[in-house]
Chain A
Amino acid sequence: MEMPAVITASGLTKRYGSLEVVKGIDFTVTSGQCFGLLGPNGAGKSTTMRMIMGLSDASGGTLNVFGEPVKTMSRATKARIGLVPQETNLDPDITVLENLEAFGRYFALPKAVIAERVPKLLDFMQLTDKQKSPVNALSGGMKRRLIVARALIADPEMVILDEPTTGLDPQARVLIWKQLLDLKKQGRTLLLTTHYMDEAQRLCDQIVVIDDGRILDQGTPQELIDRHVKGHVFEVQKPHLAASPPDRWDHEDIGDSVLYFVHEAPEFIADLPDEAAYMHRQANLEDVFLRLTGRRLREN
C-alpha cells in the first residue's frame, strides 16, 4: 500500500539577499518513514527544516506539509508536528515537569490530558527521577531527552529532529536512538538531520544527501551504499597498489593511501601485491557521504 505523503517539496529554494542557500530541492517524506536529511555544515539542512516548520519563508518552489502549503499552514496542522531543535531551548526558570506542562499549554491541551501525558513522557524518556529538578541541573543527555519528551507532548504525527544527538556520549545516543525507533514503531513520521552517519544508517529508511543547497542523491541507506561505494572498502597504503589498470576498480586517492570500493572482495585481494598493507571493512554511509560531498573541510 502506498503511504500518504507528509511532506512534499518541489523546486524549493531559499535566498537571503543574493545568497541562495537552498537551490531547488525536491523530496517526499511519506507517512511512517524515518527520513534523513544529511549534509555538511552550511548545506541547507536547518534552513529546510525551518521552512517546513513555517519559521522561514520559502523564496520559491512549493512546500506542502500534511497536504497544506506551509505558507498558510493552519494551527491544527502545526499541532501535528513536534520539533526537537538543534539548540537547547528548554525553559531554565522552571522544573523538568513544568517544562512539559508549559508546552502542553502552548498546544492548548486540556489540563487532564497534560496530567495524563506528562508522567508517561517522563517515563518514556527516563526522566521520572528528575521531574522536580531545575533544567540547569540536568546533564547534556538528560536535556536532549527532555527536549524529545517536550516535542511529544501533543502526540504529534511527525517529529522533526535537528541533530538530536550532537554532543552526547555514546550511552546517551544509544538511548535516544532506541526511543526514536520506538516512535517509528508507533507509526510516527520522523524527519532527522544529523552529521553522524551511523545514526542515519541505523534509523533512516530513506536518505537525502544535500550539499551547497542541492540534492546530491537520495535512496535507502543500502541503495546509496551500493550505488556509490559498492560493498567493501579497502584502504591500501601507497606505494603497493592494485596490479590491474586503475580503471578496473573504483577508487579515490586520499593522500598517503588509496580507497578502493569493490563488490568482489576476494578478487580484489588477489589483485593486490603480496607486500601491500591494507585495511578491509564493510562500506558504510560515511563512505557514501564523503564520496558525495568531498573531503574539503567545512566551516560553520
Chain B
Amino acid sequence: MQLPEPAYVFAVYSRQYHVWRKLIGSSLVSNVANPILFLFAFGFGMGQFIDTMGGMSYLTFVVAGMIAYSAAFAASFEMSIGAFTRYFLQGNWNAILSTPVTLAELLMGEVLWAAVKSLFSGICVLLVGLIWGGVPSLSGALIALPIVFLGAVCFACAGLVATAYAKGYEFFSYFFTFWVTPMFIFCGVFFDISRFPDAIQYLAWLFPMTHLVAAIRPLSSGIALDPAAILLHTGYIVLFSILSFAAAHRKLRQRLYD
C-alpha cells in the first residue's frame, strides 16, 4: 500500500484548477449567482413576512444557511456529475491511474479541489450577505469558514460515493432528489428545524448539512456560542467525510481495477 504523497494529490488538484480557470463563467453562474438569487428571494421576499427566526433577523438566519448550502451544492455537483464525467465519459481517471498517481491520491485531489471551489462559493455568498447587512459578526463568520471547508469536503466525499455506485447519469436524479434537495429543505437552511415533527428532526440530524448549519449560524450571527456543540457538529462532519471517502474508495477500487 502506497501512502498518499502531496505532490500527486496536487497534480490532480492542479488539473481541476486549470480547467476551472477556463470555464470560470459557467462556474461562477452556477456556484455563486445561483445562491445569491436564492438569498435575494428568501432574504428579501420572505424576510418581509418573518421578523426573526432562531433569535436573529431572518436575513441573518438565511445568510448563514445559504453559505452552507452554496458550498454543499457546489461540492455535491462537482463530485457527482462532474467527477462521473471525468471518470466514465472522458476516461480521465483511467489515464491518470496509468501514471504513478494512486487511486487514493486521485480521489483526494478531486475532493480537495471540490472543497476549495465550494469554499469560494461560500465566501461569495458571505460577501453579499455582509454588504446586505446579514452578517452581524464578521470575525465569527471568518472563524466559520474552515468549518465550511470541512463541510465542503464532506459533501464532496458523499458525492464521490454516488459517483462510485453510478452506472449512468440517471442515477444522479436519485442523488439530487434524496440527498441534495433534502439538505435544502430539512436541514435548517431556511427554517428552524425545531418546527418539524420529532421524527423529521431525528432524520434531519443524520444529514451533515444540519450539523454544518448548526455550527456556522451562531458564529456568523454573533449570538451566544456553545463551543462544545460546534466541536461536536464539526466532529460529525469529519467522521461522515472519512466514512464516505473510504466507501467511495473501496467501490471505485473494485470498478477501476479487476
Q: Which A residues are within 8 Å of any B CB, using their own CB?
A: 16, 50, 53, 55-57, 74-76, 78-79, 83, 85, 87-94, 98, 102-103, 105-108, 150, 154
A-contacting residues, B197-222, CB 8 Å? none
Contact residues in A for B8 (Cβ distance below 8 Å): 106, 108
A-B CB pair tally, cutoff 8 Å:
74
Partner of A106, one of B11, B22, B90, B258: B11
Q: Is the interface of B mostly helix, strand, loop or mixed?
A: helix
Given contacts A105-B15, A106-B8, A108-B11, contact A91 B95 (CB under 8 A): yes
Contact between B22 and A93 (Cβ–Cβ < 8 Å)?
A: yes
Q: How far is the CA of A87 from the CA of B97 in the complex (A)?
A: 14
Not counting A79-B100, A87-B91, A150-B95, a sample of 19 additional A-B residue pairs whose C-beta atoms are within 8 angstroms of each other reads A53-B98, A55-B257, A56-B257, A57-B258, A75-B100, A76-B100, A78-B100, A79-B99, A83-B98, A92-B90, A93-B19, A93-B23, A93-B90, A94-B15, A94-B18, A94-B19, A102-B18, A106-B8, A107-B100
Contact between B258 and A56 (Cβ–Cβ < 8 Å)?
A: yes
A-contacting residues, B95-150, CB 8 Å? 95-102
Q: Which B residues are within 8 Å of any A CB, using their own CB?
A: 2, 5, 7-8, 10-12, 14-15, 18-19, 22-23, 90-92, 94-102, 256-258
Contact between B100 and A106 (Cβ–Cβ < 8 Å)?
A: yes
Write the nearest CB–CB distance from B86 to chain A, whole angstroms: 8
Q: Please give me the residue from chain B that is nearest to A16 by CB atom.
A: B258
Contact between B98 and A85 (Cβ–Cβ < 8 Å)?
A: yes
Residue of A50, A74, A106, A150 ringed by the most chain B CB atoms within 10 A = A106
Write the nearest CB–CB distance from A194 to chain B, whole angstroms: 19
Contact between B15 and A91 (Cβ–Cβ < 8 Å)?
A: yes
Contact residues in A for B14 (Cβ distance below 8 Å): 102, 105
Q: How far is the CA of A70 from the CA of B129 in the complex (A)?
A: 55
Q: Please give me the residue from chain A that is nearest to B91 by CB atom.
A: A89
Q: How far is the CA of A16 from the CA of B257 in the complex (A)?
A: 12
Partner of B99, one of A50, A87, A88, A103: A103
Q: How far is the CA of A227 from the CA of B78 in the complex (A)?
A: 58
Q: How far is the CA of A67 from the CA of B23 in the complex (A)?
A: 45
Q: How far is the CA of A76 from the CA of B15 in the complex (A)?
A: 22
Contact between B15 and A89 (Cβ–Cβ < 8 Å)?
A: no
Q: Please give me the residue from chain B that is nearest to A88 by CB atom.
A: B91
Write the nearest CB–CB distance from B105 to chain A, whole angstroms: 9
The 8 closest A-B pairs by CB, nearest first: A89-B91, A105-B11, A106-B99, A83-B98, A89-B95, A108-B7, A93-B19, A75-B100
Write the nearest CB–CB distance from B89 to chain A, whole angstroms: 9
Write the nearest CB–CB distance from A238 to chain B, whole angstroms: 47
Residue of B5, B11, B94 ringed by the most chain A CB atoms within 10 A = B11
Q: How far is the CA of A154 from the CA of B15 in the complex (A)?
A: 17
Q: How far is the CA of A106 from the CA of B8 in the complex (A)?
A: 6
Write the nearest CB–CB distance from B216 to chain A, whole angstroms: 32
Write the nearest CB–CB distance from B197 to chain A, whole angstroms: 46
A-B contact pairs, 15 of them (CB 8 A): A53-B98, A55-B256, A74-B2, A75-B102, A76-B100, A85-B94, A89-B94, A91-B92, A93-B22, A93-B23, A93-B90, A105-B10, A106-B11, A106-B99, A108-B7
Q: Please give me the residue from chain B that is nearest to A55 by CB atom.
A: B257
Contact residues in A for B99 (Cβ distance below 8 Å): 78-79, 103, 106-107, 154
Contact residues in B for A93 (Cβ distance below 8 Å): 19, 22-23, 90
Q: How far is the CA of A250 from the CA of B219 in the complex (A)?
A: 89
Q: Please give me the residue from chain B that is nearest to A93 by CB atom.
A: B19
Given contacts A91-B15, A91-B90, A94-B22, contact A85 B95 (CB under 8 A): yes
Contact residues in A for B101 (Cβ distance below 8 Å): 106
Contact residues in B for A78 (Cβ distance below 8 Å): 99-100
Contact residues in B for A102 (Cβ distance below 8 Å): 11, 14-15, 18
Write the nearest CB–CB distance from A239 to chain B, whole angstroms: 52
Given contacts A78-B100, A108-B8, contact A90 B258 (CB under 8 A): no
Q: How far is the CA of A91 from the CA of B95 in the complex (A)?
A: 9
Contact residues in B for A154 (Cβ distance below 8 Å): 99
Contact residues in B for A106 (Cβ distance below 8 Å): 8, 11-12, 96, 99-101
Write the nearest CB–CB distance from A59 to chain B, whole angstroms: 10
Contact residues in B for A79 (Cβ distance below 8 Å): 99-100
Write the nearest CB–CB distance from B242 to chain A, whole angstroms: 24
Partner of B98, one of A55, A57, A88: A55
Q: How far is the CA of A98 from the CA of B92 in the complex (A)?
A: 14
Q: How far is the CA of A57 from the CA of B254 in the complex (A)?
A: 11
Q: How far is the CA of A90 from the CA of B96 in the complex (A)?
A: 10
Q: Please give me the residue from chain B that is nearest to A54 by CB atom.
A: B257
Contact residues in B for A92 (Cβ distance below 8 Å): 90
Contact residues in B for A150 (Cβ distance below 8 Å): 95
Contact residues in A for B10 (Cβ distance below 8 Å): 105
Q: How far is the CA of A74 from the CA of B102 in the complex (A)?
A: 11
Q: How far is the CA of A270 from the CA of B160 in the complex (A)?
A: 73
Write the nearest CB–CB distance from B87 to chain A, whole angstroms: 11
Q: How far is the CA of A10 from the CA of B91 in the complex (A)?
A: 31
Q: How far is the CA of A79 from the CA of B12 in the complex (A)?
A: 16
